[in-house]
């Protein structure tokens, strides 16, 4: 049996959903060490998928069915590409679904990678993402799987010309034939992270497509401001280990560009929680949420975020989960 551990990721924002200079998308994000997708496998004559008993007890049947379908479809595509017939896969851990942690991409990539290892084909993440139709808007999930760390990707060529990679503003779920964006910047990330995951709006599938249609293009002025903050403040601060400068960009990004729309679409309680957490930490919404990430510089910061999040949940009658984690600076692991 081969075992693979896939990281999750924080998606901090899309950079350019204006497109006026001929490119769109571009993403910034951080690979995180936990929660994980953990899968084991061996060769077989047919596709056989089994779930660990703990997963069966802790996930609702519909989510499990959706996960099983994604694993099955990814397996089918990879096996077809390699000319093989079957695979046995056992799923030992699953990250929260539709919470802004990139579960869909990690499931597809992990499934494809473990199958390719079992049959000694050793496909890379870009090839697997192309086969399984992932990474068509943001490359953060693909590079998180492959490399880990803090990542910035360069988006896609854009315009009505058929030679352009994208002709419309679309999420990854509707961009299955779009190649993975180029990696522009990758750096180790060494500050602590707390995930506060309230039960909020889970935005995926057709809802995402409708949101892109309704709100894009984003104004050029806001897009330019995002680029300025990332290039001239965020990137230098991570190289210089300047926690406060990096965090200030995180807080500011929540209120401009497409991230502002993602935040505004959340429930009032989630928006209030982000605002309040920013008073004690640098905090933002991951992807469409509802996961909120808080950057912490030591145990005291972690404790403050954890205590406030628990207090907010209790005072507002909200169910939720708080996870203390850290960055993953290596990508997936094969054991």
205 pLDDT band (50/70/90 cuts)? low
Residue 201 has pLDDT above 60, yes or no: no
Residues 137 and 281 in one domain: no
Please, what is the average pLDDT of the chain? 95
Query: Quick one: what percent of the chain has pLDDT higher than 70?
Result: 98
Q: C-alpha angle with apex 179: 174 to 181, nearest 5 degrees?
A: 100
Residues 128 and 213 in one domain: no
Residues 35 and 160 in one domain: yes
Residues 177 and 206 in one domain: no
Task: Determine, yes or no, domain membership for 335.
Answer: no
Residues 6 or more apart whose CB falls under 8 angstroms from that of 179 comprise 126, 130, 136, 156, 165
What gap in Å lies between CA 38 and CA 155, rounded to an integer? 29
What's residue 88's pLDDT? 98
* Distance (Å) of CA 133 to CA 33, 83, 166, 270: 24, 19, 14, 31
Q: Which two tokens stand for residue 117?
A: 């290892």
Residues 84 and 162 in one domain: yes
DSSP string, 227-273: HHHIIIIIHHHHHTT-HHHHHHHHHHHTTSHHHHHHHHTS-HHHHHH
What gap in Å lies between CA 290 and CA 267, rounded to an integer? 9
- Which of 153, 146, 189 shows the shortest CA–CA distance to 293? 189
Mean predicted confidence (pLDDT) in 44-54: 95
204 pLDDT band (50/70/90 cuts)? low
**Could you tell me which residues are beta bridge partners of residue 325?**
193
DSSP string, 266-311: S-HHHHHHHHHHTTTSEEEE-TT-S-EEEEESSHHHHHHHHHHHHH
Q: Decide: 249 and 237 in contact? Cβ < 8 Å.
A: yes
Which residue range forms the structural domain that includes residue 158? 2-185
Residues 314 and 296 in one domain: yes
Q: Structure pTM?
A: 0.95
DSSP state letter for 190: -
Task: Determine, yes or no, domain membership for 332.
Answer: no
Mean predicted confidence (pLDDT) in 153-180: 92
Q: Is 291 exposed, middle or buried (0-12, 13-18, 19+ CB in 10 A)?
A: buried
pLDDT tens figures, 72-120 = 999 999 999 999 999 999 999 999 888 999 999 999 999 999 999 999 9
Q: Quote the number of domains for the chain.
A: 2
**How big, in percent rounded to 5, are the helix, strand and coil portions of the chain?**
40, 25, 30
What gap in Å lies between CA 196 and CA 319, rounded to an integer? 11
Residues 123 and 256 in one domain: no
From 185, 212, 238, the end of a domain falls on: 185
Identify whether 290 is preceded by a cis peptide bond (ω within 30 of 0).
Answer: yes
Residues in the chain: 335
Least confident residue range of 58-72, 106-120, 132-146, 178-192 = 58-72
- CATH of residue 58's domain is 3.30.230.10
From 185, 211, 234, the end of a domain falls on: 185
Residues 14 and 133 in one domain: yes
Residues 146 and 222 in one domain: no
What gap in Å lies between CA 91 and CA 39, rounded to an integer? 5
Which three-class secondary structure state does DSSP give residue 196? strand
pLDDT tens figures, 284-302 = 999 999 999 999 999 999 9
From 185, 203, 220, the end of a domain falls on: 185
């Amino acid at each position: 049996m081969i075992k693979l551990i896939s990281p999750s990721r924080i998606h901090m924002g899309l950079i350019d959903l204006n497109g006026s200079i001929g490119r769109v998308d571009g993403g910034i994000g951080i690979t995180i060490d936990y929660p994980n997708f953990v899968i084991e496998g061996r060769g077989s004559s047919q596709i056989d998928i089994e779930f660990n008993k703990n997963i069966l007890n802790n996930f609702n049947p519909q989510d499990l069915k959706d996960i099983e379908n994604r694993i099955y479809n990814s397996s089918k595509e990879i096996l077809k590409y390699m000319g093989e017939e079957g695979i046995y896969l056992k799923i030992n851990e699953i990250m929260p679904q539709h919470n802004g942690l990139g579960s869909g991409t990690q499931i597809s990539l992990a499934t494809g990678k473990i199958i390719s290892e079992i049959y000694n084909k050793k496909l890379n993440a870009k090839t697997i993402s192309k086969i399984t139709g992932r990474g068509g808007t943001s490359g953060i999930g693909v590079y998180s799987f492959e490399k880990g760390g803090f990542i910035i990707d360069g988006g896609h060529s854009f315009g009505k010309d058929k030679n352009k990679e994208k002709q419309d503003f679309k999420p990854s779920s509707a961009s299955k034939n779009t190649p993975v964006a180029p990696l522009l910047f990758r750096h180790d990330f060494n500050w602590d992270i707390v995930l506060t995951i309230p039960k909020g709006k889970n935005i995926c599938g057709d809802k995402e497509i409708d949101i892109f249609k309704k709100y894009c293009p984003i104004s050029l002025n806001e897009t330019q401001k995002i680029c300025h903050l990332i290039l001239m403040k965020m990137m230098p601060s991570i190289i210089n280990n300047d926690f406060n400068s990096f965090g200030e960009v995180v807080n500011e990004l929540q209120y401009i560009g497409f991230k502002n729309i993602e935040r505004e679409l959340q429930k009032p309680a989630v928006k209030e929680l982000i605002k309040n957490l920013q008073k004690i930490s640098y905090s933002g919404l991951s992807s469409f949420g509802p996961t909120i990430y808080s950057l912490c510089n030591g145990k005291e910061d972690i404790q403050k975020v954890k205590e406030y999040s628990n207090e907010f949940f209790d005072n507002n009658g909200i169910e939720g989960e708080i996870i203390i984690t850290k960055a993953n600076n290596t990508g997936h692991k094969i054991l």
